[in-house]
Amino acid sequence: MATVINGVPALSAPQIRTGFQVLARSFLAWRAARSRRSAILRELNRLDDRDLRDLGISSYDFTAIANGSLQR
């Protein structure tokens, strides 16, 4: 049974462990997404003007492409 301190129930060890697991998974997902975004930006920055024209994009589109929000 949970202990009540000043009207607020205390968290049990399993609840705290679950909270840390969720936090850890969220952090790892954020770090993986950041890594993918950095890799995309690195690849886009390697393209020259001719390649960009062939693809129909400009350097101003890089952030939107990396974020997955570019709409045409």
Task: Write out pLDDT tens, residues 11-28.
Answer: 788 888 999 999 999 999
Q: Is residue 55 part of a domain?
A: yes
Q: Is residue 1 part of a domain?
A: no
47 CB burial (10 A radius; 0-12, 13-18, 19+): middle
Buried/exposed 16-28: b ≥16 CB within 10 Å, e otherwise: eeeeeeeeeeeee
SS3 52: helix
Q: Which residues are within 8 A (CB) of 62 and not within 5 positions of it... i.e. 6 or more apart? A: 41, 44, 45
Domain count, the chain: 1
pTM (two decimals): 0.70
Domain of residue 28: give its range.
Answer: 12-67
At 15-69, the pLDDT tens digits run 889 999 999 999 999 999 999 999 999 999 999 999 999 999 999 999 999 999 9
Q: Is residue 21 part of a domain?
A: yes
